[in-house]
Structure 1
Amino acid sequence: MTRIVVVDNHGQFTHLEQRALRDLDIETEIIDNETPPAAIEADGIVLSGGPDMDRIGSAPEYLDLDVPVLGICLGMQLIAAELGGRVDSGDYGGYADVTVDIEDETDPLVGSLFPETRVWASHADEVKTLPEGFTRTGKSDVCEIEAMSDPDRDLYGVQWHPEVAHTEEGEAVFENFLEICERRG
């Protein structure tokens, strides 16, 4: 059975990320972001959202574990910042219902949502510049980089929260991530 762990970056929806995975019959658990990388046994990692980059613990080290990683909100920002991208304050600010234009219908994570999807997202902070090797796979009227992918390294990020009921096709994001993990397994 595929095992995907959810790294707790102290976000308010972390438990919903675990539940979304469990609902797909995935072996899953929430792990603290201070867990040493060597102690993680998983086929995939979800980096949860959270309040700020000062509380990400050991999470940046998980990018080197050679398993697929999905960053959600702060998790996406963490991936970008660690790999040479730029994160800064968003112009819009707090949570909002947003239409995201999906730019690549072949993308393994969000391509199935093409041409657009409605999501629930926070824009207090955003990825402003992609790290090397990544492509922008989603954008909106309020955020230029709503989703990013590096399929060669199986590193993915979404600014929005696929685990909440306000996101229309959130389950598809988790299903697609499961497929990515199974393909690697």
Structure 2
Amino acid sequence: MQEKIIILDFGSQTTQLIGRRVRELNTYCEIVPYNKFPKGDESVKGVILSGSPFSVYDESAFKVDLNEIRGKYPILGICYGAQFISYTNGGRVEPAGSREYGRAHLSSFDKENVLFKGVKEGTQVWMSHGDTITAIPSGFKKIASTDKVEIAAYQIENEQVWGVQFHPEVFHSEDGTQMLRNFVVDVCGCKQDWSAASFIETTVAGLKEQLGNDKVVLGLSGGVDSSVAAVLLNRAIGKNLTCIFVDHGMLRKNE
């Protein structure tokens, strides 16, 4: 069974980028809606909570009970994910004076914390939030600050739960990939033995086993999802696949 990291998607525009960074660490991950955690999946090694366009205190904000996964898996909350963990445990999240967007530097961080192993002094991170964590609950420990954000990162004491206000997944966070590696490999224990090529092989083999000699009709729109599905199915069952092109009016120019 292929071990994996689960990314709970709260609607951030960088959720897919988090997934890409994890996969670049040769670790398989799946992005699922914030309320669709795969219960009972023994291959899950850790969970990442994405950002979101909402504020955690909005009535319409995406909310989920984390008690079902907390204590069972290591958790890393990014931006909204960090605010959500803190807020739902009694912390304060308030509007920032102005939207904090752009480069910042960690003015201090806990060098002994596993999340910051190999991170250099004053490393640059990327901020993108309209709210900020102004107080963390009892039992939470601040582990990083910037010159403008007092609680830039925290960990729940005696638990494998972290939250970061910045975005380690974006290119501008200089040691962001190192932080993600620290979480995925050192904390979650992922072996880094996955690759896109192995995913194709296992998926094609699984389709062959599942479909046998069945015939399949696929609606092909020309987008990434249906095109990838068509290629994988073609490798698995060949002439037993019939694709029907569906022109939905949203193709790229001149296609």
The residue that corresponds to 2:46 in the other structure is 44
Percent of pairs with identical residues:
32
Match of 1:25 in 2: 26
8 Å Cα contact 1:119/1:162 also seen in 2: yes
User: Equivalent residue for 2:188?
Assistant: 181
**Counterpart check, 1:95 vs 2:101:** yes
2-structure distance, mates of 1:21, 1:176: 11
Distance 1:131 1:51, change over 3 A: same
Going from structure 1 to structure 2, the CA distance change for 1:101 and 1:40 (only over 3 Å counts) comes to farther
What amino acid sits opposite 1:50 in the alignment? S
Q: Secondary structure at the match of 1:15?
A: helix
Q: What SS does the aligned partner of 1:91 have?
A: strand
Q: Distance in 2 between matches of 1:10 and 1:39?
A: 24
Counterpart of 1:88 in 2: which secondary structure? Answer: strand
Residue 66 of structure 1 pairs with residue 67 of structure 2: no
Query: Of the candidates 66, 74, 79, which is equivalent to residue 85 of structure 2?
Result: 79
RMSD between aligned residues: 2.0
* 1:104 and 2:130 correspond: no
Q: State the number of aligned residues.
A: 183
Question: Which has the greater radius of gyration?
Answer: 2
> Counterparts of 2:114 and 2:91 in 1: how far apart (Å)?
21
Name the stretch that deviates more: 131-140 or 55-64.
Answer: 55-64
Question: Tell me, which stretches of 5 or more residues in structure 1 are unaligned?
Answer: none
Shifted more, 82-91 versus 66-75: the winner is 82-91
Amino acid at match of 1:138: A
Task: Find the residue that maps to 2:159 and give its secondary structure.
Answer: coil
Equivalences for residues 5-16 of structure 1 within 5 A: 5-16=6-17
How do 1:151-162 and structure 2 match up within 5 A? 152-162=158-168
SS at match of 1:43: strand
Flag the 1:154–1:141 CA change in 2: closer, same or farther, 3 A. same
Q: Is the 8 A contact 1:45 1:70 kept in 2?
A: yes
Contact 1:91–1:123, Cα closer than 8 Å, also in 2: no
Aligned residue among 142, 145, 149 for 2:151: 145
Higher relative contact order (CA 8 A, sep 6+): 1
CA shift in 2, pair 1:60/1:8, >3 Å: same
CA distance in structure 1 between the partners assigned to 2:135 and 2:80 by the alignment:
15
C-alpha displacement at 1:89, in angstroms?
1.0
Partner Cα distance (1:120, 1:65) in 2: 29
- Equivalent of residue 120 in structure 1, options 119, 122, 126: 126
Secondary structure class of the residue paired with 1:89: strand
1:162 partner amino acid? P
